[in-house]
Chain A
């Protein structure tokens, strides 16, 4: 949060049901992509789309207990803090996500993400 000009924008990505329970999908937001996960308990999470290790598609990973495991080499990350777990990867970019009353996914991205 050093750049005072950084602003956050919220995006409605549409209905949560686009993502099967317990899985993730990639959504395009402007020119960038975001991995969105739908946990079995109904919570939504959003992170950068590619794994910092070797650019694996995180949305294809197995999730659970607030973590995601990259499908390529098993790198594991905390979906809330973005910290890598048990490996030396840099952390993930995490974007606040929620499901609104209408069942739509709302993701907040820093403006530069566009």
Chain B
């Protein structure tokens, strides 16, 4: 362990603490001897929730992120309550009181920011510290001081009407004090909102009892030993027994300055977050200045922590920090203000959309730049903010009709009115998990989506409630969301994204699941990774894939769908839903012969035989003499058709022939999730092709509209038009190409409708129709090769891969 490099982090707040978590999450514990200095004796807590502590809605212990024991468990050395004395860059050592000397190979400065204290007379007592009754509002210690003081106080004055000042004011209100906010300029939060929003915010706060004094510069704090009031420069006074100074913060850079690092407003860092004049020292969080900007927000700090952890641990040595998409929220006493990105138009061509509803105190202002959302101010209508935040963060295009941003016309997945749901309302209907149970689990520390789903079972059924679970997680964690790099992994057992995994698999020529887990998964035979890896390897290697049956789900071991009682369903393929009398007779015979408990016409225009014991599967298949319908696996399932042009008097195109062609060509092709297709012979769309994974609808002029990403399952989504094709063959080509692209690029168990939304239909058209990247020939060749070697899995009835492949109960001992 002597070869570990020494990583020293100065600062144990939102940025420093998070960096340590991120480094450890990337295996940094094996690379570094980690030492953390934190001058706050209260350790690593969530500063965002300080306003909650002040308001009494959170207890101090609730906002602790990592306790000292956590550091000990992780092998991280923590100097808690220790303020670093100086940095010796030449010797690469950190000196602190108590004869602490810590050498470093890499140093990260995350000293955060310090409250700005305006020059006001009467602030300080004889000892040079604040007089009794005067506080800043930055740390848990400050917060506890204010609470103590408020217990005996009657009237409080908050100097500063910014975000923090208003949070402090509301906190003091809920402790029963008369609260006055004293603000220097002509409207509240003037750097973040325009005068209209400022005035509306003021009204909302005044309605809740906060008294606001604008354009007041405080000259003196009055009173002899006890604070008795404020005197302003205009000669007026205000009586109070508690003063909270919330006049903003500035980056804490003294240490960096002394060390001779380049400091402007903050510590100047490159895109790689290293200091301008010392590559071994990095800075993140409030104290860092990147491209001329400093932030006082947690979002950028956490993004920087991620990037730096990626670089330091080698998880992604090329990671760089670009600008953050910042947003912030004031949510106090029923006042809800969300600020996203730019607060006003600042470039030529910016479009400003506003909506004001004075009676409800709603003010919405959107800045649209080049078709994208560049900023938003949302006051009084919290319901809109999750959707706008999503559009902003993901850079999703803004609808042509801007009003749709304000008044969404389609149902939104992450329905924001979750906040209003009662605690006993079911969120996950598969497992019967209530909102209350989810919220409690978050409070109990399940702060990742995966962890939360595992703990509550929510989202582990059909999965359609996952967006709501995620929204509740965000709601309940109030910004303490843990970053879980594993969500990016293709499978939990191999720390790689799908793209990286495919590259590694090809490079190392790993052809079996066990080989991948051995080489890339640390030799752990992870059961949660096997089926997904089998699916991926099958796509990557095709015929060269080395099959290991134990990596498959039981459905794929025995080519039938397991039912609740452990029996199976058998669904033979009926191409395009067109059956012959002979086939029907045979199905009927089999049903009688094997006393099949249920014969059911399926939604995919086929016939299912349900309740067949595993050991009878081979005989049933043999007697049916029909190929597998793959109704048990993640693969091409069916192509549903309408009668089409032959018989239907409205039919425009021969949907039936097309459907059968598609089904014959694509049967059994495996994919990240199941694919259900359909062809309709006219826009009446009787085959419901617009809500299928892939669908074709005949339109006038012998053409076909090709839809992708539709769904009418746990979610309803109309597919997007990929293109208009001129013939059956052309439809087939686009369908095949899309499916191959989906196979290669989708995450495991990602349905096409999520995939199409993630990639975007524009991008899909660019890639698959315009062939902008020149990938179409390759995709076409791949899928042709796979389709050409199709073999019916039900042939294993006569050639089982293991003598006991279909065994039921083995006779052990009588």
Residues of A within 8 A of B (CB): 11-14, 18-23, 25-30, 33-34, 39-41, 54-57, 60-65, 67-69, 71-74, 76, 86-88, 107
Interface check B384, CB cutoff 8 A:
no
Contact with A along B555-568 (1 / 0, CB 8 A): 10100001011100
Chain B residues contacting A39 (CB-CB under 8 Å) are: 525
Q: Are B562 and A64 in contact (CB under 8 A)?
A: no
Name the one of A11, A27, A72, A74 contacting B810, with C-beta atoms under 8 angstroms.
A27
Chain A residue numbers with a CB within 8 Å of B460 are 73-74
B812 interface contact, C-beta 8 A? yes
CA distance A87 to B451 in the complex (A): 11
Binds A, one of B227-235, B544-552, B768-776: B544-552
Q: Knowing A40-B525, A87-B457, say if A54 contacts B564 (CB, 8 Å).
A: yes
Q: Contacts A28-B812, A54-B564, A71-B553: A64 and B530 contacting too (C-beta < 8 A)?
A: yes
Once bound together, how far apart are the Cα atoms of A55 and B524, in whole Å? 28
Further pairs besides A28-B813, A62-B552, A71-B554: 11, Cβ < 8 Å: A13-B813, A28-B812, A55-B565, A56-B566, A60-B562, A64-B530, A65-B524, A69-B527, A72-B562, A76-B527, A88-B457
Q: Does B802 contact A (CB under 8 A)?
A: yes
Measured CB to CB, the nearest residue on chain B to A23 is B550
Q: In this assembly, does B297 line the interface, its C-beta being within 8 Å of a C-beta of chain A?
A: no
Nearest A-chain residue to B548, judged by Cβ: A22
Bitwise interface map of B from 507 to 538 toward A, beta carbon under 8 Å scored 1, else 0: 00000001001000000111111110000000
Q: Given that A40-B514, A62-B527 are known contacts, is A27 also in contact with B564, CB under 8 Å in the complex?
A: no
Q: Shortest CB–CB separation between residue B44 and chain A, in angstroms?
A: 26
Q: Which residue of B lies closest to A31 (CB)?
A: B814
Q: In the complex, are the beta carbons of A20 and B554 less than 8 A apart?
A: no
In the complex, whether B578 has a CB less than 8 A from a CB of chain A is no
Q: A20-B550, A54-B564 are in contact. Are A26 and B810 (CB under 8 A)?
A: yes
Please count how many residues in chain B sit with their CB below 8 Å of the partner chain's CB atoms.
40
Q: What is the distance, in angstroms, from B515's C-beta to the closest C-beta of chain A?
A: 12
Give chain B residues whose Cβ lies under 8 Å from the Cβ of A55.
565-566
Nearest B residue to A50, CB-CB? B566
**Cβ of B1 < 8 Å from any Cβ of A?**
no
* Contact in complex: B809, A64 (CB < 8 Å): no
B566 is contacted by which of A11, A28, A60, A62 (Cβ under 8 Å)? A60
> Interface residues, chain B, CB within 8 Å of chain A?
454-455, 457, 460-461, 514, 517, 524-531, 548-555, 557, 562, 564-566, 801-802, 804-805, 807-814
On chain A, the residues within 8 Å of B814 by CB distance are 28, 30
Instruction: Please tell me if the beta carbons of A87 and B454 are within 8 angstroms of each other in the complex.
Output: yes
CA distance A80 to B517 in the complex (A): 21
Q: Select which of B531, B562, B812 is within 8 A of A62 by beta carbon.
A: B531
Nearest chain B residue, comparing its CB with the CB of A54: B564
Q: Which residue from chain B places its CB closest to the CB of A109 in the assembled complex?
A: B813
CA distance A41 to B801 in the complex (A): 20
Q: Is the CB of A64 within 8 A of B810?
A: no
What residues of A have a CB within 8 angstroms of the CB of B455 in the complex? 86
Q: Which residues of B contact A86 (CB under 8 A)?
A: 454-455
Report how far A68 CA is from B528 CA in the complex, Å. 9
Is B525's CB under 8 angstroms from A29's CB?
A: no
A59 to B813, CA, bound (A): 18
Query: In the complex where A30-B814, A74-B460 touch, is A62 in contact with B809 (Cβ < 8 A)?
Result: no
Chain B residues with CB under 8 Å of A87's CB are 454, 457
Identify which of B457, B549, B804 contacts A25 (C-beta below 8 A): B804
Complex Cα spacing A30 to B807, Å: 18
Residues of A within 8 A of B553 (CB): 62, 71
Is B454 in contact with A61, judged by CB distance below 8 angstroms? Answer: no
For residue A10, give the distance in angstroms from its CB to the closest CB of chain B: 10
Are the C-beta atoms of B527 and A18 separated by less than 8 Å? no
A41 shortest CB reach to chain B, Å:
8
**Distance in Å: Cβ of A30 to nearest Cβ of chain B:** 7
Kindly list chain B residues whose C-beta atoms are within 8 Å of the C-beta of A76.
527-528
21 contacts between A and B (CB under 8 A): A11-B812, A13-B810, A19-B804, A20-B549, A20-B801, A20-B804, A22-B550, A26-B809, A28-B810, A39-B525, A40-B525, A54-B564, A55-B565, A55-B566, A57-B562, A60-B562, A64-B524, A65-B525, A65-B526, A72-B562, A73-B460
The interface residues of chain A lying within 8 Å CB-to-CB of B526 are: 64-65
Please name all residues of chain A whose beta carbon is closer than 8 Å to the beta carbon of B524 when the two chains form the complex: 64-65
> Given contacts A40-B525, A64-B527, A74-B460, are A23 and B549 in contact (CB under 8 A)?
yes
A20-B549, A62-B553 in contact; A29/B528 too (CB < 8 A)? no
Contact B809 A27 (CB under 8 A): yes
A60 touches B554 (CB 8 A): yes
Contact A27 B527 (CB under 8 A): no
Contact B812 A14 (CB under 8 A): yes
B696 CB to closest chain A CB (Å) equals 35
**B527 proximity list for chain A (CB < 8 A):** 61-65, 67-69, 76
Do A13 and B457 have beta carbons less than 8 Å apart?
no
The residues of B that contact A71 with a CB separation of less than 8 Å are 553-555, 562
CA distance A75 to B791 in the complex (A): 33
Contacting pair A26 B554 (CB below 8 A): no
Considering only CB atoms, which chain B residue lies closest to A12 in the complex? B813
Min distance, Cβ B613 to any Cβ of chain A, angstroms: 11
Q: What residue in chain A is nearest B430 (Cβ atoms)?
A: A73
Separation in Å of the A46 CB from the closest CB of chain B? 10
**With a CB–CB cut-off of 8 A, which chain A residues contact B809?**
26-28, 33
CB contact between B550 and one of A13, A57, A62, A73 (< 8 Å): that residue: A62
Chain B residue numbers with a CB within 8 Å of A41 are 525
Contact partners of A33 in chain B: CB under 8 A: 809
Contact of A34 among B557, B565, B812 (CB under 8 A): B812
Find out whether the CB atom of A29 lies under 8 angstroms from the CB atom of B550: no
Bound CA span A56–B457, Å: 17
> With A and B bound together, what is the CA distance between A23 and B564 in angstroms?
20
Q: Is the beta-carbon distance between B551 and A22 smaller than 8 angstroms?
A: yes
Closest to A51 in B: B566
Residues of B within 8 A of A25 (CB): 804, 807, 810
Of B553, B565, B809, B814, most A-chain CB atoms within 10 Å:
B809
Distance of A105 Cα from B801 Cα, bound (Å) = 22
Q: How far is the CA of A28 from the CA of B811 in the complex (A)?
A: 5
Q: With A34-B812, A64-B526, A86-B455 in contact, do A20 and B802 touch (Cβ < 8 Å)? A: yes
Most central of B552, B807, B811, B812 by chain A CB within 10 Å = B812
Closest to B807 in A: A25
Which chain B residue has the least Cβ–Cβ distance from A20?
Answer: B802
Given the known interface contacts A26-B810, A62-B531, the answer about A72 and B564 at a Cβ–Cβ threshold of 8 Å is yes
B806 to chain A, nearest CB (A): 11
Chain B residues whose CB sits within 8 angstroms of the CB of A61 once the complex forms = 527, 554
A21 touches B550 (CB 8 A): yes
Specify which of A29, A65, A67 lies most central, judged by the most chain B CB atoms within 10 Å of its CB: A65
Docked complex Cα distance between A65 and B562 (Å) = 24
List A contacts of B805 (CB < 8 A).
20
* Chain B residue contacts of A11, Cβ below 8 A: 812-813
With both chains docked as a complex, state the minimum distance between the C-beta of B559 and any C-beta of chain A, in angstroms: 13
**Cβ of A3 to closest chain B Cβ, rounded Å:** 23
Complex-state Cα separation, A16 to B207, whole angstroms: 77
Contacts of B549 in A (CB 8 A): 20, 22-23
| Chain B contacts for A88, CB-based, 8 A | 457
Q: Report the bound CA distance from A107 to B802 in whole Å.
A: 23
The distance from the CB of A85 to the nearest CB of chain B, in whole angstroms, is: 9
Residues of A within 8 A of B808 (CB): 26
Residues in A whose Cβ lies below 8 Å from that of B565 = 55
- CB neighbours (8 Å) of A14 from chain B are 810, 812
Q: How long is the Cα–Cα vector from A104 to B549 in the complex, in angstroms?
A: 22
